[in-house]
A and B are shown apart, each in its own frame.
Chain A
Amino acid sequence: MNKARRNIWHSVAAHGILLTYTLLALFPVFVILINSFKTRKAIFRHPLQLPGPDTFSTIGYDTVLKQGDFIQYFENSLIVTVVSLFFVLLFGAMAAFALAEYRFKGNTLLGLFLALGIMIPIRIGTVAILKMMVASGLVNTLTALILVYTAQGLPLAVFILTEFMKQVSEDLKNAGRIDGLSEYAIFFRLVLPLVRPAMATVAVFNMIPIWNDLWFPLILAPSEATKTLTLGSQVFIGQFVTNWNAVLAALSMAIIPVLVLYVIFSRQLIRGITSGAVK
């Protein structure tokens, strides 16, 4: 009896805390969403009110879609994020496999070297990076952004994935070797599926900063054709006047792809956890 009651309180408390946190986290998003469908006046008079018949307006979305190449920005952001994530995961996993699987001289040292990037922010090297991009003629290309984001994501990816790959059963890899699988097949067919949860974690960690980044798009690829969504949205924020309808509409639309990617990765996370392990 006593124990049962305590358990109920425990779960009530836990749910209470989690719900509060969820509300806190979702509240700004909610405010952005409702206000993106309101007239400018209504946004400032009653920022917390839901759009009503009088205040409903899609003026923000109209402006955004008409303005410049918004679809183009969107595409740029998506390409940069997805391709960077792909390379971070691919190269990160390959490096991690080598560090975890093979004994060679300097293995530990190389691992430490690769992890160094976690502690040193890549923005410190902005000037050098810009010089390099100018020299190689990559300024104002998406390639420049992809290269930088891949470099930025690799250290943490290698670090996390190495730990996970060390835990993949030695016997399983050896069974594959005896059955004639190449090292590549062992990597892609046996090891990668088993570290999927870790890959999803790395992907989620990397995705948001890349998608939201303003710094490198502004410096490396500010041209009209290569603007990302975040950079593109800045046109609505002026020094004197800000078109809030448009800013809110742009932000609302920017959330969608991140949400979709997140759902995909979190599925992997859960599936990875529940799928049968080795033993």
Chain B
Amino acid sequence: MSALKLEKVCKSFGSVKVLHDIDLTVEDGEFVVFVGPSGCGKSTLLRVIAGLEDASSGSVEIAGRDVTTTPPSKRGIAMVFQSYALYPHLTVQGNMELGLKQARMPKSEIAQRVAEASRMLSLDDYLDRRPAELSGGQRQRVAIGRAITREPELFLFDEPLSNLDAALRMNTRIEIANLHRTIDSAMVYVTHDQIEAMTLADRIVVLRDGRVEQIGSPMDIYNDPDNQFVASFIGSPAMNFVKAAAYGFDKGAVLGIRPEYLTVVDSGRLSGVVTHIERLGAETNLLVDLDTDDTITLRLFGQYSFDVGQKVGVDFDDAKALFFGKDGQRIR
């Protein structure tokens, strides 16, 4: 039995079609991340799964039950929002209890679930505070706690880390990963941040303009992208794309090569002039204007020094090169 099954889900707002025939299955205990640029329909898809929006057509099945017409509270889901969405007039404890009270759960069970969640997220000291008296990180933990107490079949996260600062973001990311290891429920997680996608996901769903571009494990997506969009969206610095013909390849229209697979050599197949250099300590990024008018990025591990304007030769391993047709589809 799968935790979530979407079949031909479409969603339109008026005449604007936002989701196009989404098919997806999430297995029990799986962590699936939706990633894609802003406005591609990730949140809308999540809200359709949650029942906050009705699908225009198609069906949603959660834990083997068709919930297409079931209200959100009866779908066996819990959701964590980017803006935390805590009830401002309730204490931390009140926030975590509300859903259970609405479901008329016995008091003893509510107390036990809240205690468990608060222990897991180290919220014990804050149970009597109101959201206004908590920091951003604490608020997001309360929001996660509120989701945990529902003991859902499926967790839904909508960009839960976007409002946190960088340091806190990493901690909370690890906390979410640990949470998934501990409670082992299926989770669907929406983000536009590829680092979150790569580090958390068992499987990544790459979306663009309301369509699924590719589904696969993080390494599959990285090493074996189906098309140019996926190749360029995942990976930072982004993959280099050059006209294949200009470099003597007769396969496909576009040649894609990741910055780390390029090396500086004395005389290679490519040559150009260094236009910019970024030294990050652990790695050095090099922008090179090729003689053939393409600009490429090289990612060298370790510390190097180059001068802007310096002429360099560049080469790569053909096995790492990817080829794409005119339509952007991968040619294998």
Contact = CB atoms under 8 A, between A and B. Distances in A.
Contacts of B85: 169, 171-172, 174-175, 278
Interface string A176-198: 11111100000001100110000
Given A275-B88, A275-B132, A276-B132, A179 B99 contact: yes
A5 interface: no
Interface in A260-279: 275-279
Interface string B73-87: 110011101111111
Nearest to A276: B132
Contact of A194 (B88, B139, B163): B88
| Chain A interface mostly | helix
A178 B79 contact: yes
A194 B132 CA distance: 13
A278 to B, nearest CB: 6
A174 B132 contact: no
A275 B89 CA distance: 9
Nearest to A172: B85
A276 B131 contact: yes
Contact of A177 (B73, B78, B83, B130): B73
Contacts of B98: 179, 181
Contacts of A189: 89
B99 A178 contact: yes
A28 B66 CA distance: 71
B73 A178 contact: yes
B99 A180 contact: yes
Contacts of B89: 189, 193
A278 B133 contact: no
B1 interface: no
Given A190-B87, A277-B88, A278-B84, A178 B130 contact: no
A174 B52 contact: yes
B15 interface: no
B87 A172 contact: yes
A177 B190 CA distance: 20
A180 B102 contact: yes
Interface in B59-105: 71-74, 77-79, 81-89, 98-99, 102-103
19 contacts: A171-B81, A172-B86, A174-B50, A174-B85, A175-B86, A175-B146, A178-B52, A178-B77, A178-B78, A179-B73, A180-B73, A180-B74, A181-B73, A181-B102, A276-B131, A276-B132, A276-B133, A279-B83, A279-B84
3 closest A-B pairs by CB: A276-B132, A180-B73, A179-B99
Given A174-B72, A177-B52, A178-B73, 12 more contacts: A172-B87, A174-B52, A175-B85, A175-B86, A175-B146, A177-B72, A178-B52, A181-B73, A276-B88, A276-B132, A278-B88, A279-B163
